[in-house]
């Protein structure tokens, strides 16, 4: 079988792709401090792997651990996807295609294949990225902003009046309305800020590509933003893996 791997800034996600094109359930974990043994046990302990297809925004040392673990497990082919001018019906909107992050590229491919038409892909993690693809597969570009947790951390570390004395209230991430304490004001405001940007992108995308682009939301922090969206959205936690499956030449 083929193992599909999505290595982000802090988390790794993976799923098995069977020979008949069936994509298995997604697994995910923080990988900070992982050893070769950790990579081997987590990703390769439950399957007979022949091929690994990965999208990674991590550094070479992390990618090297994945390669070593895959070789140890007997994988004959380990391939890291690169951003290209065109793939799977999607045409890169960047003047220099290589400058578009591979995670955004693969998510756009997965989103376009899922939507079978125009879509807005919001990937909310350490960073929040938003990309738009038209009905005919043109990638129109997008935005990158800090994710909600990074926004919170930036405020707490960079603003002298906002420190650890403002402890979390324990409120639900789905709570809306004006906050009545500083910590909730920070956390709720950061979630709403990302949600508002996503909603604005859906509105702008409708003007650019026509009414009805589908909003697809993925990423480890998606759950913090989804309750605050005004636009109808589909939550696809495995969207990058779906894109990898498309690139693997399989049907998701």
For the stretch 157-211, pLDDT in tens is 877 666 555 555 555 566 668 888 888 899 999 999 999 999 999 999 999 999 9
Residue labelled with tokens 């982000």: 8
| Distance in angstroms (rounded) separating the CA atoms of residues 125 and 148 | 8
Which of 6, 103, 123, 199 is the catalytic position? 103
| Distance in angstroms (rounded) separating the CA atoms of residues 168 and 31 | 26
| Distance in angstroms (rounded) separating the CA atoms of residues 144 and 102 | 14
Q: Is 199 a catalytic residue?
A: no
- Provide the sign of the torsion angle of the four alpha carbons 45, 63, 49, 217, taken in this order: positive
Query: What length is written for the chain?
Result: 252
Contact 212, 194 (CB under 8 A): no
| Distance in angstroms (rounded) separating the CA atoms of residues 68 and 12 | 16
Reported pTM: 0.90
pLDDT per position as a tens digit, 28-87? 999 999 999 999 999 998 768 999 999 999 999 999 999 999 999 999 999 999 999 999
In this prediction, residue 31 carries a pLDDT of: 96
Q: Reading across the β-sheet that carries 139-146, which strands appear in turn?
A: 139-146, 127-133, 119-124, 214-218, 233-235
């Amino acid at each position: 079988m083929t193992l599909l791997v999505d290595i982000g800034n802090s988390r790794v996600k993976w799923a098995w792709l069977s020979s008949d094109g069936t994509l298995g359930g997604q697994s995910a974990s923080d990988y900070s401090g992982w050893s070769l043994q950790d990579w081997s046990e987590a990703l390769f302990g439950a399957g007979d792997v022949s091929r690994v297809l990965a999208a990674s925004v991590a550094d070479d040392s992390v990618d090297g651990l994945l390669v070593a673990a895959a070789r140890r497990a007997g994988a004959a082919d380990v391939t890291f996807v690169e951003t290209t001018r065109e793939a799977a019906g999607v045409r890169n909107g960047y003047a220099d295609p290589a400058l578009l992050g591979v995670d955004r590229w693969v998510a756009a491919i997965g989103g376009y294949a899922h939507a079978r038409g125009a879509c807005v892909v919001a990937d909310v993690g350490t960073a929040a990225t938003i990309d738009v693809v038209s009905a005919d597969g043109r990638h129109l570009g997008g935005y990158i902003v800090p994710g909600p947790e990074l926004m919170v951390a930036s405020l707490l570390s960079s603003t002298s009046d906002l420190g650890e004395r403002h402890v979390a209230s324990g409120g639900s991430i789905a709570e809306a309305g004006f906050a009545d304490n500083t910590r909730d004001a920070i956390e709720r405001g950061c979630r709403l800020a990302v949600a508002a940007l996503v909603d604005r992108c859906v509105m702008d995308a409708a003007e650019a590509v026509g009414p009805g682009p589908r909003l697809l939301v993925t990423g480890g922090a998606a759950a913090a933003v989804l309750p605050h969206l005004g636009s109808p959205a589909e939550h696809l936690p495995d969207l990058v893996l779906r894109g990898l499956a498309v690139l693997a030449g399989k049907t998701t």
